[in-house]
Structure 1
């Protein structure tokens, strides 16, 4: 018997797949919504007698190996390693396994996590951080062990040198974001004097780290970011990992509810308080991919929000993602504290009670929009409420729920139901590409391409990640867009995870009330345009605008050089030669 057959004997296909999907009994088989294509009627079948799976919707199927390859994005070797670990089987030719690139990267993160954990619990360097966690954050030693928390020394190369002695290269360390280059070009540890939160993937392996400062900053010239996260890497896809899911997934399935909070400590404190179906987005704003992963375990997701503007924007994004996945979305309101962790510090029962009484997310959003327009019976307020709610209602899949909101908004705004229905129909049938071009032409009267590009960078983290490094301040022609670009770049470098917080931080950095009003208008108009586009189309459009920006910059530079050449004439051949060379480089 070869080792693949041995693994198949030890791992049941139903047990394996039920760790990823919510399976329902269907005679002798089990069924679920397929994770590999979007569907409302389950067509994904698991047959225990034959130990196979098959989807009648997308015509894909196979055994436990093919399922893991697809669901985890692995090749056969990667699936073999993962399933061998699960089955407790040691693969032959382990020396070859060690040469596998991802295996080595996972080994580095595992060693680093043990190193950080040891510093926190066993050294004098970690004593102050440990006291902070035990006394100020009120975590138990059991919780600290459970989540494998750690601490990093102030020494700049302690981890780098430790890993070097273990046989790992600086290239490998940099690839998983454990070292970085300082201003002198020397490699140093990325995380220093921070409490460390290992981030574990669905495969149970450490993919990356989050680091949090806990001491007060005494340097007035530099304010380090409160949180620092590992970058994207071959083993860490921020868009598809949820912090705490490895601990929460069984509880999520049992309670048929997932709760999403913002921070690492929110997750940890919540689990300690007994609310253990809680996860957090990992180093990024919540993504469609993360929602899709959660939907394997439950179709009920509750989001924890503040009742401020950042909370409102986060709620809107959550609605956009969950309604397209047919998720029953709820909102948990925090009223006596700024976040779940602080609420638990006051009294764990407050959080337990809040988590047990979520309200419908559309209802929450409607309440907040109505409160924002509370002056409200004037025409402008009514139009504002309608414009906010109509795109949300258009995404509601359930016809009864949609009908309820259609009637409610019509009654509350004192308008005929047919007008709301007509507006909904327009949202359901978005404009064609030709219409979009006409819309964009008319919008350019108000928003320049530079402003549209910056709005995309402000609103979408993926756009920032992909295009920020290819832009310079000099590319912008307007003083206000140059200033906004500098603010966006500075805020991006602070590694702010939550998009709503990122937006609020940028607004706080604007000079005056007029600039903030103009910014709000630009963001509103851009959102109106982007709402009809998919995330991929938004990124493509942003890249197109970058290309335009660069082309226009080069054109301006060429014109300047050409004018200078004309002015010099034949008097300075050397200078003319240098300018012609520069001109050639710009073509």
Structure 2
């Protein structure tokens, strides 16, 4: 029975309730939850609510409610085990009345690895707060409060070869399992076992459901690498997870997430009340991570480092996010090298203003491209415009094309009509407007001339009437 419970928990962890219910009925995001018309009774005003953070649904009209399994039971009109089978098939778990030994072992191993990681996180946390150590000193020097340290469960790995391993062995775990889940390293040549993380500040990595699946460790001396992540295991794939999403998913505003590169950037922003933020895990953004973001938000503001490496990473991230149908803006860090520095210098209000003023990604791309050319040189200016207009042609919205055609025109002093024509905007109406304006000016001028003739004629007639000699002469 315990095995079956483990399997059911694994199925529930893989089947996000919002995704499942969205396949059955229409729900819309409303704050941190989703709402819709209840499918279990007749109503005109939606009283059906789905909570992504709690993984439950509730109807405030008919009191129907429960988890993802109970929803499938009610919708499909099936019993508990049939609903479990439907969800198991959906998430790729083979489930029969007689579960295969291989599947049983896999589920058991997943749960065991999660238990081991949870125990390791507690060990690192206790190390950080129960004794004087360089890890705690480093975090306090970086300006983190005890409250935020506890919020993210930060820890410290002792400057020891086997302190974690001995702690976990004393808890009854097997040495081979500690190696499999990536916390202990085994050297086959010498048959030596030692802790993977030593003398590092530890950042536990949670999946978006709040389960510890790995760690990131920041070195406290001159050792390399500066940051070390857990290896990929049965429960951890850094290409499919995002740091901080388990916390930030509760604080998403305007369908928007802020994307940063580092653990400390995220934690520093969160401590300063910028809470809708996630971080990549030491690698370039992947399409898997972008798809995970899309489950929670439609818009992303990239806030990477301002150096060359950060700009290059931003350019790559833009294209990945666009593939996932996410709208992208870029935050300008001004004179700061990273978000941590920015929030310390300008504070919450400064960062909030930078969020509000963040540029649409195409402007960022044009500005980066501009730095490659000398716009005082006509040949280079022409090359810049040709390359920039290629970017604009890829835009789907004519309004966006026109807006950034204007921006490109202002940068280069090249006529807006030429750039519009080059990016595929029809300019016929513009020429007609010019022609109409010209005709209107001509009519106005003719009217003025005709009025002048009338004045001259009136003056001339007056003179004739007043002077007899003039009349005779005429």
**TM bracket (short chain):** 0.5 to 0.7
Give, in whole Å, the separation in 1 of the partners of 2:384 and 2:423.
13
Q: Equivalences for 1:66-465 in 2 at 5 Å?
A: 66=86, 70=90, 73=91, 75=93, 100-124=108-132, 127-134=133-140, 136-181=141-186, 184=190, 186-215=192-221, 217=222, 223-252=223-252, 254-349=253-348, 350-384=350-384, 386-387=386-387, 390=390, 392-393=391-392, 395-405=394-404, 409=408, 414=414, 415=418, 417-421=420-424
CA distance change for structure 1 residues 15 and 385 in 2, over 3 Å: closer, same or farther? closer
Give, in whole Å, the separation in 1 of the partners of 2:340 and 2:254.
21
Residue deviations 1:173-211 (CA, integer Å, cap 9, x gap)? 222221224585522111100000000002211111000
TM-score, with length taken from structure 1? 0.54
Give, in whole Å, the separation in 2 of the partners of 1:12 and 1:153.
37
Give, in whole Å, the separation in 1 of the partners of 2:207 and 2:89.
15
Question: How many angstroms does 1:172 deviate by?
Answer: 1.9
Whether the aligned pair in 2 keeps the contact of 1:323 and 1:396 (CA below 8 Å) is no
Aligned residues: 363
Residue deviations 1:495-552 (CA, integer Å, cap 9, x gap)? xxxxxxxxxxxxxxxxxxxxxxxxxxxxxxxxxxxxxxxxxxxxxxxxxxxxxxxxxx
Cα RMSD over matched residues? Answer: 3.8
CA distance change for structure 1 residues 12 and 376 in 2, over 3 Å: closer, same or farther? closer
Give, in whole Å, the separation in 2 of the partners of 1:196 and 1:151.
5
Question: How many angstroms does 1:236 deviate by?
Answer: 0.7
Question: How many angstroms does 1:417 deviate by?
Answer: 4.3
Give, in whole Å, the separation in 2 of the partners of 1:195 and 1:284.
19
Question: How many angstroms does 1:377 deviate by?
Answer: 4.1
CA distance change for structure 1 residues 303 and 12 in 2, over 3 Å: closer, same or farther? closer
Residue deviations 1:539-586 (CA, integer Å, cap 9, x gap)? xxxxxxxxxxxxxxxxxxxxxxxxxxxxxxxxxxxxxxxxxxxxxxxx
Residue deviations 1:341-374 (CA, integer Å, cap 9, x gap)? 1223334233343234322121122122223424
Aligned partner of 1:514 in structure 2 is none
Give, in whole Å, the separation in 1 of the partners of 2:110 and 2:353.
43
CA distance change for structure 1 residues 382 and 237 in 2, over 3 Å: closer, same or farther? farther
Give, in whole Å, the separation in 2 of the partners of 1:227 and 1:162.
24
Give, in whole Å, the separation in 1 of the partners of 2:270 and 2:317.
23
In structure 1, list runs of 5 or more residues that go unmatched: 31-45, 54-61, 78-95, 218-222, 423-587
